[in-house]
Amino acid sequence: MTYGKSELELLAQHPTPFAMITFNIAGFLTDFTEGRSQLKLDSSPATVGAALGELWEKHVGLRDRVVNEKGEVRLHVNVFVNNETIRRQDVLETTLADGSEITIMPSVSGGDGS
């Protein structure tokens, strides 16, 4: 595709937006996101940890339900990147591509075994 001078000037003035990071929030955690199960960041952070940091700024109460006082992902919380399970010790350092989806889901447990 070729562009004329005026089209190139228009593209330079209005660059295409970068792909955002999308969070999918499940279960009771939506109590801390104003009931929203999907959130988008207006940026494209490099790691899951950086993305979570931006999420905490907007939804402060969610932080303590996802990470402990040491900043580690809680044992009863699962984090997926693009539908892939990420090893607990690697979650925060996991790199993100533009347009990645991060799913935060509380673990399901319980039942009486009968």
- pLDDT tens-digit series, residues 94-107: 999 989 999 999 98
Q: Which two tokens stand for residue 113?
A: 């075994």
Tell me what pLDDT residue 110 has.
59
Tokens read off for 48: 């899951």
Domains of the chain: 19-106 (3.10.20.30)
pLDDT digits (tens, 9 = 90+) for 14-31: 444 556 899 999 999 999
Contact 89, 10 (CB under 8 A): no
Question: Does the pTM exceed 0.85?
Answer: no
